[in-house]
Chain A
C-alpha cells in the first residue's frame, strides 16, 4: 500500500514569490492534515480536512496561506506571497478519522525562502 505522497520534496524560492505544495493521502483516508514543522520543533497543525470540508483551520495564517481539497482526496497548500519566516518543512498526514486513529505522515516538503 502506498503511503502519503507529497511533492515537491524540496523547494527554494525568493521572498514574495508564491509556492504550492501537493499531498495525496492514503486511499480511503477521509481525514487529511497539513502541519508546519520549524527547525528543532515538533509539528504544528495548520489545517484539518474531513473529506472536502476544512473542519479546523484556526492555526492557518489566512492572509497568505490557503488550502483546498476539492474532491476530498488530494490537497494543495499555497503560500502567497512567501516570507523569509515561512522556511520550514510542511508535512501532510492522513487518517481514517476519529479519535485515536493513527495519523500517517508523508515525507514533507522542505521550503527555503531566500
Chain B
C-alpha cells in the first residue's frame, strides 16, 4: 500500500538551515512534492521532484531524493520566521492515477 511518513515537529533558530525528512513506501512514485500550509490557509506547492532526479534546488530550497531508501528531504537555507508553517510531503504514483498521497505534516517552528 501507499504510505508517507514524516516527523511531526522541527524547531530551529532563525538563520539556521532546516531539514525536513519524509519516507514513502510505494516504489512506483512518479512525482514527490513539498507543500506548505500556514494557519487557516490552504496548501501551497513549494517544489516537486520527478522520481528520476536526485536533487533539485530552487533559491533557498533544496530537495534531495534517495530512491533506493525511499527517502525525500527538504532543506531550507537561512530559515526565517516567515517559514514557520506545516510542511507536507506528498507522492503521486502510477497506482494512484496521479492522485496525491500526503504525509501527516511536519510543523516547523522558527525561533528568533
Instruction: Enumerate chain A interface residues (CB-CB to B < 8 A).
Output: 4, 33, 40-45, 48, 55-56, 91, 93, 98-100, 102-108
Of the candidates B41, B42, B99, which one forms a contact with A45 in the assembled complex, judged by CB atoms under 8 Å apart?
B99
**B102: which of A4, A43, A104, A107 is its contact (CB, 8 Å)?**
A43
Is B104's CB under 8 angstroms from A41's CB? Answer: yes
Q: Which residues of B contact A100 (CB under 8 A)?
A: 30-31, 48, 50, 92, 98
Q: A42-B105, A56-B97, A91-B43 are in contact. List 10 more A-B contacts (CB 8 A).
A: A42-B90, A44-B102, A45-B99, A48-B99, A56-B99, A91-B42, A100-B50, A103-B45, A104-B45, A105-B42
* Contact residues of A: prevailing secondary structure: loop
For the complex, is B24 an interface residue (Cβ under 8 Å from A)?
no
Of the candidates B42, B45, B97, B103, the one whose C-beta lies within 8 Å of that of A42 is B103
- The tally of residues in B whose CB lies under 8 Å from a CB in A reads 23
B25 at the interface (CB under 8 A from A): no
A67, B82: Cα distance in complex, Å = 36
> Does residue B53 face the partner (Cβ distance < 8 Å to A)?
no
Q: State the CA gap A98–B31 with chains docked (Å).
A: 12
